[in-house]
Structure 1
Amino acid sequence: MSFSGMVKEELSRQIGNARHCRIAELAAIIGSCGRMGHFPQGDILKIQTENEVVARKCFTLLQKTFNIETEISVRENSHLKRVKVYVIEISEPKEIQVILQALKLTTDSVDHGTLIVADMLVAQQNCCKRAFIRGAFLASGSISDPEKGYHFEIVCPDVRRAEQLQTIIRSFSVDAKIVQRKKSHVVYVKEGAQIVDMLAVMEANVALMDLENIRILKEMRNSVNRKVNCETANINKTVNAAVKQMEDIKLIQQKLGFEQLNEGLAQIAELRMQYPEATLKELGMMLSPQVGKSGVNHRLRKLSAMADELREKQGGELL
């Protein structure tokens, strides 16, 4: 099961004790998955989803909130073969009226079959806002595998619904953004810490802990990689510098001889030849009296300058 599927499975098992929270969650689910069908024999409220956990959650909420007994039928998607579609149909006029009034749902003025939350009073309290976001995510949301990247989104059919949802999410200090994708508008969050906040808002506590563990491991791996890369770069830099120093010293030895150098330069030249892999600190500790890193580096720079001068004047590259 995908990470997104695990989050939805966890959320599907959460049934709020307060009726107003169940109403808020149902409003989000039916507002996304529901349609009103108008037929000669009467209107039908149809809730349709390809996700079994969404159908199960909707069925349970309808039963606990409105005491409505209905059934979930399973059909095959006519466009995508082998894809199951779960359908809940309510045809009793009084039950439809009670649901639409309680959830503040009305038919869209453009698409008369689509339902929209006309009054956001259903999600005024923080607990109801959490429930509304939870319902919206269950109905049309997804979250990427955190091992691969961080992306949380909820797809809305139009900009009005996207802005409604964005406002509710931002009330929890999460910077949700909206982008248009074909005919839909997507409310999304991309930053890892804010996705953790979204899971906390929806009360997906198990998924939240899983995501946090993955984030910690990724940060540790990245930190280790940064340190290894830094150490490797430092080692390469040290090795390259030592190789250059050896070439300079050999050139000086060949052209001038160490007896032409002052005592300090002669000492460091001989030590570098004897210990080509030693660090500046180690070389300094071998001198008598001992010299610090900056002192050793100063002497080696002098030797390098002497070697460069020899190359310029005599063309004395060491073969």
Structure 2
Amino acid sequence: MTFSSEVKNELIRVNPTVRHCILAEILAIVYFIGTVSTSKNNEISLQINTEYSGLARKYFTLIKKTFNINTDVVVSNSALVRRKRLYSVSIMDDAGAREVLKAIKLLKNQELLDCLSLRSNTVLLNSCCKKAFFRGAFLSSGSITDPEKGYHLEIVCSTIDDALSLKELMEDLSLKPKITTRKKANVVYIKDSDQISLALGLMEAPTSLMNFENIRILKGMRNDVNRKVNCETANINKTVSAALSQLEDIQLIKEIMGLEKLTSNLEAVANARLENPDASLVELGKMISPQLGKSGVNHRLRKLSIIADQLREKVRRENG
């Protein structure tokens, strides 16, 4: 089971206890996956279609509990995905469909509202109702990536107006979503892990939130360990490369002019490096009498490098 499915299975079991929040969640389901049909006799029917049986069951329960209206449930094979079931929950009775649409403010004066704007829908006045709507929107048209793979929560909207309305509602809940276009759909998404954590809390998914946080902590620890290992590896490589370069310079000086012709200070450092090719600068400094600090050893090694470069240039001119 995917992480997204686990989150939705938890949210399915969240049942609002007050009518206004129930209406907000019904509004979200109808808004995202509902279809309103009008017959020649001007009779209205309301249908939702989903491939998620849990959502069909929750919608059925909310409608029955709130309005005591009979609904028709049909299970068929999905035309889009093989081996997938499509669940349809329909209110075919005109009076029942109108009652639901009127309650969720999509019907006014017996006229179906063409512009289903969330900004002006009075069902969403309260913060708790906005949370319920957000939960319903995610259940209907949302998904979340497994946090082991990345951080991404999204809700797909049919139109840019729907996406802008949902974005505004989420901003009212202190979320900071963005909008992108994917094929013909408009996607409202969050990529920040802190924001996704907040979203899971707003939708009332505490178990999923805890699992998300545990994975996030483990990933953070792994990343810290990897950074330290990479840093140490880089330092080791840098130290080894520097030591090899120093040995090459000192060997050249020894072969061409002899280390005894160096000043005593430089000769001491050169011999210490030749005898201890793997030692760090701090360790080299402790081997010399009188002892030197890291910067002192580094300064003398740079002088040896300059002398070696001068000898290479001299050899080049003589052979050139």
TM-score (norm 2): 0.91
Q: Structure 1 residues 95, 174: CA separation in 2 closer, same or farther (over 3 Å shift)? A: same
**What is residue 181 of structure 2 aligned with on the other side?**
180
**What is residue 271 of structure 1 aligned with on the other side?**
272
* Structure-1 separation of matches of 2:80 and 2:50: 14
How far residue 83 of structure 1 moved from its aligned partner, in angstroms, is 2.1
Q: Does 1:237 align with 2:238?
A: yes
* Structure-2 separation of matches of 1:78 and 1:310: 80
Q: Structure 1 residues 94, 119: CA separation in 2 closer, same or farther (over 3 Å shift)? A: farther
**What is residue 10 of structure 1 aligned with on the other side?**
10
**What is residue 36 of structure 1 aligned with on the other side?**
36
**What is residue 60 of structure 2 aligned with on the other side?**
59
**What is residue 221 of structure 2 aligned with on the other side?**
220
Deviations 1:91-141 (A, max 9, x none): 22322222111111244638xxxx775842111111111000000110111
Q: Structure 1 residues 80, 116: CA separation in 2 closer, same or farther (over 3 Å shift)? A: farther
Summarize the alignment of residues 99-248 of structure 1 with structure 2, pairs less than 5 Å apart. Answer: 99-106=100-107, 107=112, 109=114, 119-248=120-249
CA RMSD, aligned part only? 2.1
Between 228-237 and 125-134, the greater mean CA deviation after superposition: 228-237
| Number of residue-to-residue matches in the alignment | 313
Structure 2 residue identity aligned to 1:49? T
* Structure-1 separation of matches of 2:78 and 2:129: 33
Structure 2 residue identity aligned to 1:103? I
Between 216-225 and 33-42, the greater mean CA deviation after superposition: 33-42
Between 115-124 and 5-14, the greater mean CA deviation after superposition: 115-124
* Structure-2 separation of matches of 1:245 and 1:210: 52
Summarize the alignment of residues 298-313 of structure 1 with structure 2, pairs less than 5 Å apart. Answer: 298-313=299-314
Between 285-294 and 116-125, the greater mean CA deviation after superposition: 116-125
**What is residue 21 of structure 2 aligned with on the other side?**
21
* Structure-1 separation of matches of 2:129 and 2:122: 10
Q: Is the 8 A contact 1:31 1:117 kept in 2?
A: no
* Structure-2 separation of matches of 1:316 and 1:220: 56
How far residue 237 of structure 1 moved from its aligned partner, in angstroms, is 1.0
**What is residue 262 of structure 1 aligned with on the other side?**
263
TM-score (norm 1): 0.92
Structure 2 residue identity aligned to 1:109? D
* Structure-1 separation of matches of 2:155 and 2:293: 61
SS at match of 1:45: strand
Deviations 1:46-89 (A, max 9, x none): 12111111101111211222223434321122454432111111
Deviations 1:27-52 (A, max 9, x none): 00011121122335743211211111
SS at match of 1:4: helix
Q: Is the 8 A contact 1:105 1:116 kept in 2?
A: no
Between 182-191 and 230-239, the greater mean CA deviation after superposition: 182-191
SS at match of 1:128: helix
Between 279-288 and 64-73, the greater mean CA deviation after superposition: 64-73
Q: Is the 8 A contact 2:246 2:305 kept in 1?
A: yes
Deviations 1:221-256 (A, max 9, x none): 222222222211111111111111111111111222
Structure 2 residue identity aligned to 1:5? S
Q: Structure 1 residues 144, 267: CA separation in 2 closer, same or farther (over 3 Å shift)? A: same
Between 88-97 and 18-27, the greater mean CA deviation after superposition: 88-97
* Structure-2 separation of matches of 1:232 and 1:288: 31
How far residue 172 of structure 1 moved from its aligned partner, in angstroms, is 2.1
Between 307-316 and 96-105, the greater mean CA deviation after superposition: 307-316
Query: Structure 2: 5+ residue runs without aligned partners?
Result: none
* Structure-1 separation of matches of 2:132 and 2:145: 21
Between 165-174 and 276-285, the greater mean CA deviation after superposition: 165-174
How far residue 291 of structure 1 moved from its aligned partner, in angstroms, is 0.8
* Structure-1 separation of matches of 2:271 and 2:80: 82
Q: Is the 8 A contact 1:284 1:296 kept in 2?
A: yes
Between 22-31 and 58-67, the greater mean CA deviation after superposition: 58-67
**What is residue 75 of structure 2 aligned with on the other side?**
74
